[in-house]
């Protein structure tokens, strides 16, 4: 098992939603602040090879990087994914390609480890529920997020190839949809839970008599509290040396209709919910089999979903005046 307290760790996307929580989890494991390096855009544009080289050289003043946890992703909700398929494929593929190759080319892969965060968007559109890792190649992903999902899946294959040819240690985890305090609430790029929380809270503040929601509400999703996800990633960094794909989920499924009704209840919004069936529902169902995470990591999610939503709503109400820029690099 890798003793993380003795590692020099780069966390891409470490200033984002998941990254900030992950940093604290690492500190709880005994990692010192000076042993964590977070590359910040635009000083380091990780889609550019020379910038990745500079980042590795700069991270610890010339001392070698022992561990990379690659959280950074360029992604959004259904609307953003439909508008930016080319950009999302390129940005996510380029970051993984350059970071992994330079980790190897600069000799860091001889003793270090690369942890890649994948995405549930990589699963085929009609994957049997619950999703099992062995089904990742059994079909094409849901079309609205396929470019992003395929780019992330290609990073897994790159790590597998580098393990076979170069013996490079790595791990690959696939967290389901994340939520929690500090999430991205930008309406241009947020995912479903923060988008719905913001919509309900703003409707209350404005005295609106209804809110509008995309699709029919029939699609289902599974959600993982951000602290649980961070714990799973830390555990993978400790115990995994090869990129066997591992689902990280809460093993609980809820329809979008049920989700919005729950958020309406918890926020106190009393108006009408109006559905727009001309907008896409996205992938029909998402729920993960987390047997492999239990077996290989000894990990299970801990947060009760209702409690996690309440904490997220309370955070937004205390921080809704914060300006959040549109687009950019956000955590998956």
- 3-state SS record for the chain: CCCHHHCCEEEECCCCHHHHHHHHHHHHCCCCHHHEECCCCCCCCCCCHHHHHHHHHHCCCCCCCCEEEECEECCCCHHHHHHCHHHHHHHHHHHHHHHHHHHHHCCHHHCCEEEEECCHHHCECCCCCCECHHHCCCCCECHHHHHHHHHHHHHHHHHHHHHHHHCCEEEEEEECEEECCCCCCCCCCCCHHHHHHHHHHHHHHHCCCEEEEECCCCCEECEEEHHHHHHHHHHHHHHCCCCCEEEECCCCCEEHHHHHHHHHHHHCCCCEEEEECCCCCCCCCCCECCHHHHHHHCCCCCCCHHHHHHHHHHHHHHHCCCCCCCCCCEEC
Q: What is the pLDDT of residue 331?
A: 33
Q: Domain boundaries in the chain?
A: 4-179+223-251+286-302
CA–CA separation, 293 and 255 (whole Å): 24
Q: What is the pLDDT of residue 281?
A: 86
CA–CA separation, 269 and 207 (whole Å): 9
Q: What is the pLDDT of residues 205-233, one digit of tens each?
A: 999 999 999 899 999 999 999 999 999 99
Q: Which residues of the chain have pLDDT under 50?
A: 323, 325-332
Q: What is the pLDDT of residues 114-123, one digit of tens each?
A: 999 999 999 9
CA–CA separation, 81 and 144 (whole Å): 6
Q: What is the pLDDT of residue 187?
A: 82
4-179+223-251+286-302 to CATH, choices 3.60.9.10, 3.40.50.720, 3.30.565.10, 3.40.50.2000? 3.40.50.720
Q: What is the pLDDT of residue 188?
A: 77
Which phi and psi (to 5°) does residue 37 adopt? Answer: -120, 130
The region, left, alpha or beta by phi > 0 then psi within -120 to 50, assigned to residue 12 is beta
Contacts of 295 (CB under 8 A, 6+ apart): none
At 229, list the tokens.
């996800």
44, 148, 172, 225: the active-site residue: 148
Q: Is 148 a catalytic residue?
A: yes
Q: At what angle do helices 146-166 and 85-105 cross, to 10 degrees?
A: 10
Q: What is the pLDDT of residue 321?
A: 84
């Amino acid at each position: 098992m890798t003793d993380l307290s003795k590692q020099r760790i780069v966390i891409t996307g470490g200033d984002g939603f998941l990254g900030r929580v992950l940093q604290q989890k690492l500190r709880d494991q005994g990692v010192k602040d000076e042993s964590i390096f977070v590359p910040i855009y635009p000083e380091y544009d990780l889609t550019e090879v020379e910038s990745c080289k500079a980042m590795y050289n700069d991270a610890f003043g010339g001392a070698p990087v022992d561990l990379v946890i690659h959280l950074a992703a360029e992604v959004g909700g259904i609307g953003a994914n439909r508008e930016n398929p080319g950009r999302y494929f390129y940005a996510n593929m380029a970051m993984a390609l350059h970071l992994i190759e330079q980790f190897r080319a600069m000799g860091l892969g001889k003793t270090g480890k690369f942890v890649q965060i994948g995405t549930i968007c990589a699963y085929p559109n009609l994957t049997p529920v619950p999703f099992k890792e062995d089904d990742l190649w059994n079909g094409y992903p849901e079309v609205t997020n396929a470019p992003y999902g395929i780019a992330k899946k290609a990073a897994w294959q790159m790590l597998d190839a580098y393990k076979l040819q170069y013996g490079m240690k790595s791990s690959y985890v696939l967290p389901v949809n994340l939520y929690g305090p500090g999430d991205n609430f930008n309406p241009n790029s947020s995912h479903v839970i923060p988008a719905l929380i913001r919509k309900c809270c703003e409707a209350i503040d404005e005295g609106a008599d209804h809110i509008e929601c995309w699709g029919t509400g029939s699609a289902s999703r599974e959600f993982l509290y951000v602290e649980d996800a961070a714990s799973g990633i830390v555990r993978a960094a400790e115990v995994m040396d090869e990129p066997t794909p591992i689902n990280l989920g809460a093993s609980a499924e809820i329809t979008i209709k049920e989700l919005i009704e729950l958020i309406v209840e918890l926020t106190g919004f009393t108006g009408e919910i109006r559905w727009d069936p001309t907008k896409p529902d996205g992938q029909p169902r998402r729920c993960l089999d987390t047997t492999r995470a239990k077996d290989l990591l000894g990990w299970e999610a801990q947060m009760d979903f209702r409690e996690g939503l309440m904490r997220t709503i309370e955070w937004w109400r205390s921080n809704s005046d914060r300006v959040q820029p549109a687009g950019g690099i956000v955590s998956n």
